Structure formats: structure tokens, C-alpha cells
Chains A and B, each alone.
Chain A
């Protein structure tokens, strides 16, 4: 499968977070891509990987929607994609500069 599964209940890296929780404009690296919701289509994780959402790639939120701050526009590598929140929920990231506090 194209997705990388994190061990359930395993130790999370300190700065590991959901992509959607990343502050707009903050540079981060993709940690893992997996179908978060069991009901989400299986091909979702694979397609995200095909678009370039792969562990280690640079990622940054460019813009957010007005209401409920969704969807989000995400820069991955040199491309930009608009993602709905259930799509972004598949992606965990680690900010480049560790957040203070």
C-alpha cells in the first residue's frame, strides 16, 4: 500500500501534528500519510502520495477558507493543492522550527 501507518498508540514525536493544525505560513515536513477515517476511500492516501504528499517533503499552508477555516490551500514541494479537512486529516506533519512554548 502507498500509505504509511503509524503504530496505533505508539509514541508520537514531540512536534508531530495534524496538517490542518499547522499555522498558516509555517514550513513543515510531512511525517506520514494514511487514511485517518476508516470510512474514507482507500485510494485517498495513495492519491495524496501521488500528488507528492510523501514523508520528508516540505509542506506549508498557503491559505484557509473563511468559514470554519476550510478548505485549506497547501503548498507541497513546488505545487499547491486545495484540500478539504477530511483529506488533510490523512497527513501528519512536523514543523521545521519547533514551536516555542
Chain B
């Protein structure tokens, strides 16, 4: 059945181009902040649409299609681009007009896509982007000649300058949009003869318009001689990673405390102005405390993505992937997986969001699956509590703190098990035998502040919308589980003990007895599903403490030191290395993979690992201490 074409008053213009041609920068100049970021239906490819008001008052919708080398797609990104252009994608209107964005400094490579698009017969204009850099390199392209040879208009653009798109806007302003029915985009896979023909054609065009300088050593080459150096390269990478790590943990502390205190103060204020009621309890203990516990990671997410975008925009990120490709490749991952995995040390949610930079879907999935094994910062409060209570504060092996060593071992255990899981995935054939790298290393350039700001805002928006929807809903559900039914009159135990969460905990205690968890721990694990560190507060509730915040931890330490055995404590530490205790992460996985399958698989395998890890830890510790 053919759907009726949607009549849309403003024409849809698609930006198409090779990766790294400065297309997104041009898109930002054209649309400013009037952008909508979402996913294409059914895939995890980002869809960016914006709108532009031309000087004559015409409204043009602009679609930033994913970068593609060819219309014969190899990656999901390219598949989307080809499908949209050919009108094969359900739910997407075929663009009325195509802007083919080319990197003026790399026309030899970019022209091949231009020729393919020209063969399609879609109405289009070619944007010679980055002409500023090209000029500085002494590359002058005769745009008029190029337009005559290609038979389509050619305009010069500078994506990093606010006025850099004026020539393109002029073309879009005076555009005559042909009716959709008048044209038919037909694509056939090019034959060997087609490719050879295109190569001859590219050479002929380059010869005629200029712009082909295969000069020896460029500035980027000189930088690469150091950055990709077998010895200095890894050292520079380590220094950058160290800086990012430091920034995420150190710089974020002040704003994180501010958010925590702000949420706390708001809760106290609400507590005083609202009459004691179920609604108040829901607002203060359910919504505010729950959402606040996730919102507190916003500063870390901003700082982390600031660095990721900076490294991406400057061209360093693919170099880092190049340097790490061998290490990551040995366990079957792509070199690109390192940024998401690094991010996961702050929080698995931005880490999983950052896997969007991995083009191969299988690599991306493998990276998502192991991301929660990186020790996220939400585990620190739990680790700190248990280590503080059970590991003696003393120096071993020449001044090293025993407590610090235990913490380090916990981090390493996560990394090693992640590598192990990736290796198993590779062995089981879940990962392709021949994993492609074929990663372009674009010329370095200075990051553009405007693009950085827009990119950062989009990440923040995605995170906040998630907090406001699915995470909020989960928090309310968990609150309800911990609050209902209310304790019977005359009850002596903590209220949570009589709730559904309490009953669940009692039932879990049977399941967890073989790994040494008592019923108090089992109950605390239920609200701990909201966010890992909530378990600390929940333990406090179960042990009927009235203290809050930092005092809670202080009051809990002697209590658990008395009532838990060392094997139980170690077993709980091992549990926290693996257990999928963060529903927000699972919700993010569901969002990013568009399926319940992967969060379920993830939860199952992590639970299995956690149970096995804790069981072994508990039994070994029991044997050693008895």
C-alpha cells in the first residue's frame, strides 16, 4: 500500500558528505541551535534535523545525514543515508534537495561520492567546505569550472565561520523544488568499470579545476610523527587519559556537592512546608531523592563529554583508536571502544551513550555489554563503607596503604573481567572474525567553540530527558515497593521490613545465604537497584538509623563491622564489582539498542558473574579465616 505523500510547506534539504568533511559544523551554522536530535526509527543512528529561515522568509528544513563514503552501505550509518536518499526508509520523507558537502582539501576522495549522487539524478548543489583551510594550504579550486563540469551549482562554504554559509543560503533561498513525482532516484551498485570510470573522471576534473596537491609532508604529518610515534604516542595518550580522569573526578566534585546539597535542601524545605502525607513522602523520598541521585552525575557527564567532543573535533580521537587498536583488538574490540569504556568509570550511562562513535554494530554492542563492568563512581560510596569497616588501615609493602590496594584490586577486577567477557564473545563467534578498522585519520584542526557548545548541550539534553522520563518512573516504582504496605500498628522493626521490598529482601536472603548475605543486606539491595550508592542509605534505614548523609556512613561503619563477618563483607565487595544493580543503566541500554533483549541478557550475565564471584570469594574467605 502506498502512503499518500505528506504535504509539507517547507522543503526538506539533506546534507550528505564523507565523514570528516565538516558537515556537522556547516549544519550548525545553517540551523544554529534550532535542532532536534533523535534516533532514526528502529536503529541507533542519530537523526539531526534543524530549520533555516532564509533572507526572503522561506523556511527550509535541514536534515544532517550520517557521513558516508558510498551509497553502497557498510555501516548502519551509511545504510540510513542511502535509504533516506533513495526514499527507501519508512517514516522518512525523501529529501527535496541535496547539499553534497565536500572537504576542499580532500577533493580527490570526496568527488567520488559527488559523482555517485550526480548519477542518482537528485537535484543538488555541491558545497566546497573548509575553503579557508584549503586557501591556507595553497589549494585554489575553480568553483565555476567545477560547476560546469559537474552540471550542478557549486558554492564555497566555511563551516566554522558564522557567515560561512551565506553563498549556500542564497542558493537554498532561490531554490526551485521540483515535484517529488517528477524524479526517480534509481541506484545500482557500481561495477568495476563504473569505479574505473569514476577514477578517470575524478582525475580529469581535478586536473581542470585545480585543488589536487599531493605534496609530501603536511603539518598534520608532523604532529602525527609524534602523536602516532610507537613510544611517545602511548605516553601522550596516557597523559591525556590521566587528565580526563582527573578532571572528571576532581573538577566535578564542587558542582556535584552543590547539586547534592541543593537537592537535600529542597527536600528539607519541602518536608517543612508540606503536611505529613503519602504525597510528601513520594515527593521527598521517592522523586527528589531518587532523581537527585542520578542528577548528581550531570557535572561529570558535562566534563567528560567536553573532553570527548574536544578530542573528536580536533581529530585526536581516531588517533587514540589507532594507538589502542592492537590492545583492544586482542580481545575482539574496536580501538574506538576505549572512550566509552573510559567514560564508564564515571558512570555507565554516558559510556553507553558514547558508544555511538563506534560504527560497527557488533563492536558497539560488545562495548555496551561490558561497559557496566568498569567501576563507576556510584560504587565508590559502597566500597568506601565496606573497606572502611573491614580493611585495617595499615601500610604494607613499603608504604602502600592496604585500603588503597583493595580499592585498586576492585577496579582491576572490573577491567580484567570486561576483557574476559569480550574475549568470550569473540570466541563464541558473536564478534566478526574480520573486524574492520578502516578508520580515517582526518587532518588536525582547532576545535570550534560553537560546535563544542552545541554538541555538549545535545548530550546534556539527552541525559536530562532520560532522567525526567524513564529514570523518574523507575524511582517512583522503587519508592512504592519500599513504602507499601505500611508497617502494621505496633510494629517494632524498620518500616521497610514490612514493605514489598522487605518481603522481596527476605525472599532474596534465602537465595543469597550461600554467598553470605544476611537479610539486612538483601533488603538494601532492592532499593539499591535505583542507583548503587542508594544501598548505603538503605542499609542505614534497615539498621534503623536516623542519621543522614555523611553521618550515616560514619554511624554505619562500626555497626556493620560488628554484625558482619569478614567473608560477608568481601563477598559483598565482589558482588558490587559485577552486579547489574543500576536500573538506569539497563534503561539506557534498552534505549540505545531499541530492544529489551540486550538489557535482559546483560542483567542475566552480570547476575551470574556476581553470584559466582561472590560465592567463590565467600567460600575462599571462609576457608582462610576459619
B395 within 8 A of A: no
Known A-B contacts A64-B230, A84-B437; the reply to A73 vs B224 at CB < 8 A is yes
**Residues in chain B near residue A4, CB distance under 8 A:** 192
Check A82/B109 contact, CB under 8 A, given A2-B190, A50-B69: no
Q: How far is the CA of A62 from the CA of B196 in the complex (A)?
A: 26
| A49 B195 Cβ-Cβ under 8 A | yes
A98 close to B (CB within 8 Å)? no
Q: In the complex, which residues 212-254 of chain B have their Cβ closer than 8 Å to any Cβ of chain A?
A: 212-214, 220-221, 224-225, 228-231, 233-234
Q: Are the CB atoms of B322 and A62 closer together than 8 Å?
A: no
Partner of A47, one of B69, B106, B229: B69
Flag if B233 contacts A66 (CB, 8 Å): yes
B594 part of interface (Cβ distance < 8 Å):
no
Determine the chain B residues whose CB is within 8 A of the CB of A65 once the complex forms.
Answer: 230, 322-323, 325-326
- 1/0 per residue A49-75: CB within 8 Å of B? 111101011100011111110110101
- Measured CB to CB, the closest approach of chain B to A80, in angstroms, equals 4
**Residues of A with C-beta under 8 A to B74:** 43, 47
> Distance (Å) between the CB of A76 and the closest chain B CB?
8
Q: With an 8 A cutoff between CB atoms, is B209 at the interface?
A: no
Number of B residues near A (Cβ < 8 Å) is 47
Interface residue ranges of B316-337 to A (CB < 8 Å): 318, 321-323, 325-326, 329
Instruction: Tell me, in angstroms, the Cα distance from A48 to B442 when the chains sit together.
Output: 17
Per the 8 Å Cβ criterion, residues 429-462 of B in contact with A are 433-443
B326 touches A83 (CB 8 A): no
Cβ contacts under 8 Å, A18 to chain B: none
Query: Taking the complex as formed, is A8 at the interface, i.e. its CB lies under 8 A from any CB of chain B?
Result: no
Report B283 CB to chain A, min CB distance, Å.
52
Q: With both chains docked as a complex, state the minimum distance between the C-beta of B566 and any C-beta of chain A, in angstroms.
A: 41
Closest beta carbon of chain A to B68's beta carbon, Å: 10
- A70 vs B327: C-alpha distance when bound (angstroms): 11
Contact status of A52 and B437, CB under 8 A, knowing A46-B72, A66-B234: no
Nearest residue (CB) in A for B441 is A80
Selected contact of B436 from candidates A2, A44, A54, A78, CB within 8 Å: A44
Q: Mark B498-542, 1 if CB is under 8 A from A, else 0.
A: 000000000000000000000000000000000000000000000
Residues of B within 8 A of A82 (CB): 318, 321-322, 325, 437-441
Does B588 make an interface contact (CB < 8 A)? no
The residue in chain A whose Cβ has the minimal distance to the Cβ of B330 is: A67
- Determine if B277 is an interface residue (Cβ-Cβ < 8 Å): no
| A50: contacting residue among B72, B105, B441, CB under 8 A | B72
Does A1 count as interface, using CB distance less than 8 angstroms? yes
A62's partner among B213, B228, B326 (CB-CB below 8 A) is B228
In-complex Cβ contact of B199 among A46, A47, A54 (8 A): A54
Question: A3 CA to B196 CA in the complex, in Å?
Answer: 10
A35, B89: Cα distance in complex, Å: 31
B326 touching A78 by the CB < 8 A rule? Answer: no
Partner of A66, one of B109, B321, B326, B443: B326
**Whole-angstrom distance from the CB of A86 to the nearest CB of chain B?**
6
Q: In the complex, which residues of chain A have a beta carbon less than 8 angstroms from the beta carbon of B329? A: 84
Give which listed residue, A2, A52, A75, A84, contacts B325 with CB less than 8 A.
A84
Inside 8 A of A3's CB, which chain B residues have their CB? Answer: 192
**Number of contacting residues on A, CB 8 A?**
43
A9 at the B interface (CB under 8 A): no
Q: Which residues on the A side are within 8 Å of B492 (C-beta)? A: none
For A75, the closest partner residue in chain B by CB is: B221
* Contacting residues of chain B (34-70) with chain A, CB-CB under 8 angstroms: 69-70
Instruction: Collect the chain B residues with CB atoms within 8 Å of residue A47's CB.
Output: 69-70, 74, 436, 438
Q: Is the CB of A83 within 8 A of B438?
A: yes
Contact residues in A for B108 (Cβ distance below 8 Å): 52, 77-79
Task: Give the distance in Å from the alpha carbon of A71 to the alpha carbon of B438 in the complex.
Answer: 10
The answer to whether A39 has its CB under 8 Å from any CB of chain B is yes
Given A51-B438, A58-B214, the answer on whether A71 and B192 have CB atoms closer than 8 Å is no
Q: For A77, give the chain B residue with the smallest CB separation.
A: B108
CA distance A48 to B438 in the complex (A): 8
Distance in Å: Cβ of A28 to nearest Cβ of chain B: 12
Instruction: Tell me the smallest distance from the CB of B18 to a CB of chain A, in Å.
Output: 9
CB-defined contacts of A40 to chain B, threshold 8 Å: 434
Known: A51-B109, A58-B214. A67 touches B326 (CB 8 A): yes
Instruction: Choose from A43, A68, A73, A87 the contact partner of B326 (Cβ within 8 Å).
Output: A68
Measured CB to CB, the nearest residue on chain A to B212 is A78
Are B436 and A81 in contact, CB atoms less than 8 angstroms apart?
no
Type the 1/0 row for A80-101, where 1 means its CB is closer than 8 Å to any CB of B. Answer: 1111101100000000000000
- The answer, yes or no, to whether B426 is at the interface (CB within 8 Å) is no
Which of A43, A68, A71 has the most chain B CB within a 10 Å cutoff? A71
Say yes or no: A81 contacts B112, CB within 8 Å: no
Q: A65-B322, A82-B322 are in contact. Are A87 and B195 (CB under 8 A)?
A: no
**A78 contacts B214, C-beta separation under 8 Å:** yes
For the complex, what is the distance from the CA of A86 to the CA of B435, rounded to whole Å? Answer: 9
A41: Cβ under 8 A from any B Cβ: yes
Contact B192 A87 (CB under 8 A): no
Q: Is the CB of A66 within 8 A of B230?
A: yes
Of the listed residues A3, A40, A80, the one surrounded by the most CB atoms of chain B closer than 10 A to its CB is: A80
Taking a contact as CB atoms under 8 Å apart, the answer to whether B439 and A78 are in contact is no
Q: Does B174 contact A (CB under 8 A)?
A: no
- The 0/1 profile, CB within 8 Å of A marked 1, for residues 170-213 of chain B is 00000000000000000000111001100100000000000011
The reply to whether B195 and A77 form a contact with Cβ atoms under 8 Å apart is no
Nearest neighbor of B106 in chain A, beta-carbon distance? A78
Give the distance to chain B from A47, nearest Cβ to Cβ, in Å: 6
Contact in complex: B438, A80 (CB < 8 Å): no
Are A63 and B192 interface neighbours, CB within 8 A? Answer: no
- Minimum CB–CB distance from A59 to chain B (whole Å) comes to 10
Q: Are B109 and A77 in contact (CB under 8 A)?
A: yes
**Residue on B nearest A60 in the bound complex, by CB:** B216
B109 touches A79 (CB 8 A): yes
Report chain B residues within 8 Å CB of A77: 106, 108-109, 214
Q: For B190, what are the chain A residues with a Cβ–Cβ distance below 8 Å?
A: 2
6 A-B residue pairings within 8 Å (CB atoms):
A43-B74, A65-B325, A66-B231, A78-B108, A81-B440, A84-B438
**Other CB < 8 Å A-B pairs besides A66-B234, A78-B108, 20 of them?**
A39-B434, A41-B434, A47-B69, A47-B438, A50-B72, A52-B108, A54-B199, A58-B214, A62-B224, A62-B228, A66-B323, A66-B326, A71-B437, A78-B109, A79-B440, A80-B220, A81-B441, A82-B321, A82-B439, A87-B436
In order of increasing CB-CB distance, the 3 nearest A-B pairs are: A63-B228, A66-B230, A77-B108
